[in-house]
Structure 1
Amino acid sequence: MSTKSEYPVHKEVLDGLPVDYYVVHLRKKIILQTNNKEIEPGTACHKAFFCSEHPCDVSHGKCLFQQKLTKNQNSEFHYSYTKDNEKCYFRVRGTLLKKDLALVTLEDETAYMKKKEESERNSEKLERIAHLANFSYWEYDVKTRIFNASLAGREIYGIDKEFISFEEIQSKNLKEYRDLFEQSFADLIRKGVGFDLKYKIQRNDGAIRTLRGIATYDRSTNMVYGIVHDITGAENKYVIDIEYQEYLSMLFKKMSSAFAQHKIETDENGQVGDIVIMDVNPSYENLFGVRREDVVGESFRKVFPQISDRWIQYMGKKALSGEAKLFKEYVPWLKKHVEIYAYSPGKGYYVATINDVTDRIQSEIELKKAKQQAVEGDRLKTHFLTNMSHEIRTPLNGILGFSSLLSQGGLTEENRMYYGQIIEKSGKRLMKIIDDIIDVSMIQSGQIKIDKRPIDINELLREVYTMYSKGNADKLKRIKFEMLPVESTDDRIMYSDKEWIYQALNNLLDNAFKFTERGKIAFGVEKSDLNEVIFFVKDSGIGIKEEKQSYIFDLFRQVEEGQSRSYEGFGLGLAIVNGIVKKLNGKIKLQSQHKTGSEFTIVLPRNHEQVLVKKVAGHESSSA
């Protein structure tokens, strides 16, 4: 008769996950199992997740989870709902374990989405301000005599095409400014004289506009880079109207995202040399731990000496190309993940908004790890059940088969004794399996009881040695079996639970004899002093591969796994030892080399003070 596990996913695996996980029955729309202590199993998933009395987004009789999680085994989607007039956002990840059964996790993205929406609103405000301020970047190719202006620049001139010839620009200038404009351009290119000119144009619609142009010449690229500002109505001011200036300043300072403006420095060959910080906002100061007055006008390499040349070159080339880019970077000296949106408002310049996304990235990493652990836990559980079926059936078949043979007549005395030995051996093996299952159940449920009493360590070791010497007579013809007792009489007594220490040593020695065909097995006490007792079990068996040593104490893990394994057992022995040792406030260590052997050490507190108390109490009792 087969029995179903109480938990669809092994409870210990689910409880150990770093995030809240839910096992959902898709058809019944209830949570069967969760490690979230605030959610009761049996709660409707739509009520627990989204505060809804009804299934979410039902279509063709299927709720949202059924639509998303039955098409593919693994799925990820976003969901939002409104609660108390507030929009709530979630990222949902799900793994279809089997039909109608899914493993689900939810990540609350409300704070992130609000921050993102605020960032988008701020970017739109900046774009509107630039438009309202009639401010534009442009560049001029000296060789082709072609201007390339931004959209704002084309609107200032009333021109609807992106590339404009020098002659077309000159044709817009009022006649009294044309010679001055051309001469100023020529002096900039030939003599390096600064270009800072106030002049007037007439657009196609007849409107007269007063402009201020500022430009610089890059000899290495034979390009002129400049800005133009429409100052009509404010000819005596070379700044944006004070209302817009205050608004822009307020927005810049209040942005939750870090914001910075930069200029690219190039060498004589036009290659990126460094980046100069032109301005930063308070959020930037907080994120990078700097002060505005210390960084404005300074180079990146000076402010951030840890930064790599690769990053300088990458951002510099983006600025020179004018390409906008959204990307994520890990900043080692901050130990933070950041999301950067960088764009170039003009060639040789770039601005960047930077958001700290460390928590989100870490959450994604933990969710991925948790998902892997959950899938691995389910695999191990299935593997364990398969092994347990095999391990129980094997001794049962031995008992039933040879009992049937014993009931038949005509057997010799030798055969009866041989069959009886097989039945006894199978019975002991079956009893060991049952004992292990009970032990691990008690350990996992916290029901293991500790009965501490004074223990004669050497007496305990002799009991273990005698049992294994008699029970492994055949193997001891090929294996040297040694016991190392406590030498000092003063250090022989400890205060702990004898039965559980005995059980831990038994499990370790069972493995030693199982995996050692020739050589040596030794056990005993490596050290005993006032503070601790160190037991050890050492063998020259097959050893444990290095990649398996990190999880060898986990439930259901074995040196060999799969149906083709060479050794009996189903991976509870070392997990039981680990549970016992932790309950006794100790620790267990492993040193092993594949094909050479293993050594397990158990470090337990000796509880010397309690030993003395018992001795004194016993002395007073006998004196009375």
Structure 2
Amino acid sequence: MKFKFEYYLTAIYLIIGALWILFSDKLVTSFTDDPLVITNLQTYKGWFYVLITGFLLFLLLRRHLKEVRAVNNTLFDRNQTLVDYQKKLKERNDEYYSLFEEYKTQNEDLLVAKEKAINNEQQLKQLIDQAPDAIHIQIENKIVYANEKLLNLLEVQHERDVLDKHLSDFIDPYDAGETTRKLQMLSNNGSRQIVRIRYSTFNKKFVDAELTSVQIKYNGKAAELIFSRDITGEKKYLLELERKNRFINTILDRLPIGVALNRFNEGDATYMNKKFVEIYGWPRAELVNIESFFRKVYPDEHYRKKVMQMIQADVATGNPELMHWENITITQKSGEKRIVNAVNIPIQEQNTMISTVIDVTELKRTEANLLAAKEKAEESDRLKSAFLNNISHEFRTPLNGILGFVEMLVRPNLSDSKRKKYVDIIRESSNQLINLVTDTVEVSHIQTGTIQVNRRSFSFSDLVEEVNKIYKPFIEKKRLELIKNMNLSEQDLNITSDRHKLFRIVQHLVDNAVKFTEQGYVKIFVGRLDKYIEIKISDTGIGIAPEVKASVFDVFRQSELGYSRSFGGNGIGLFIVKSYVNLLNGEINLESEPMKGTTFTVRLPVYQN
């Protein structure tokens, strides 16, 4: 700045002086030729030049000095700042110096690292080329390097076919939007993200791949190292595995037994089929946890502890043969009790316990029914044996009577009174034998289901009178009173039903009443209830004990009870009555008190003529 100003000032002075000398003399001589005037004007011209040049020099010097002072002030301020900085620098100099050696060592390490980085970059390319997966490097989403595996994956022959292209140029066009979003996610999240895309190869084939990314430096620039793992086969395998799992789950859900899976070291079930949930009768969510399972399924605390102790003790042995529990009573959410059998199967190598359960409630009921049927069959056999023993006696009695009195009829000199008596006895024995054969045949028809209902119109009062004629001699012989109560009009007593079966019903009930009554009365009551006829046969006989009321209608029952020996009969009459009442869609009730009498009430649907 100093030399420039001096040059500037000198140049101005020389230029002004030269111009003044050159033009001022011409100006003076243009006014006058007088030498004296010219001399004076030359003097004035010199003074004028001095004043003008002095004033100009003053202005230039003042401007320059002003700038110099401003610069000096700035330099002073900067110098003061520099002094303060030097003080601080001096204060930290020791600290920086102490770190210098460390920085120096680190710098040397950085130089070594730089050399290694150069080597590593070369090694990286070698590793990429030798890697089993498809790998490429991209900068700003453009491929700058690709290994042979990626070229094979995309079915291209030369690396130039993929360089400077975007990865999105090789994706399934039908899934471009979603795949682009995934690739952007991969770039943003790097190694923290794994995405799956579908490549579209050069030959228009589709390849499923799993991509991961690592941020690296390549040729001094930020880049992405992207790994593409071909998962097409794996995906097909997983789809096949999923299909097989669905198939297995379908089979498991259709099994007639419940199945659940548990981990040995976990308290929750990992799987339950539909039958398992159905058998236990609780929502799946309430059966998953083992504690909740026992609390819900076994609400009774005492029984729950008993079951848990038994199961835990057997499981602790590790012996699968002991992990089998039968006839366990469970409670469903509805409150219904069920009986189940459970079997646990430990799979040690898979850390899994398979729990199976089967509902045996119906099986137990069937077993109970079979047992009851077995007992009933055995009882029936006993009753049949008793019946056969009794029926042989019942057959022999009238046959012996017939044969004996026939022989007596052929004796000579037999009086007419005795002959009539013997004929009456033969007739009575024949009727008894006919009734016995009829009852036996009817039982056979009932048991084989070959009997039919034949409805027709008839007078019920005539039917009662017919029964009365049959049993009047027996009633008079035992000195019983026969009471008939039929307070109905003749029109109401004209009904439509199976006359034979209704006759047999009334006959057997009256027969029983007369047979088991030694004194008192036998009463026949007939009434109507809407479309039903009500028949009551009452007596004052020996009655029926409460414990055998339920079985009096069973076939052959009387033979087993021993009544036939004391009162006669074959034990099939009430069975026929009950069977005929059922065939006619009616009902029969029994009221009895031992040693006071019995009342049978029959209600049958009938139609008025």
Question: Which is richer in helix?
Answer: 2
Q: TM-score, normalised by structure 2?
A: 0.50
Question: Which is richer in strand?
Answer: 1
Q: TM-score, normalised by structure 1?
A: 0.49
Bigger radius of gyration among the two:
2
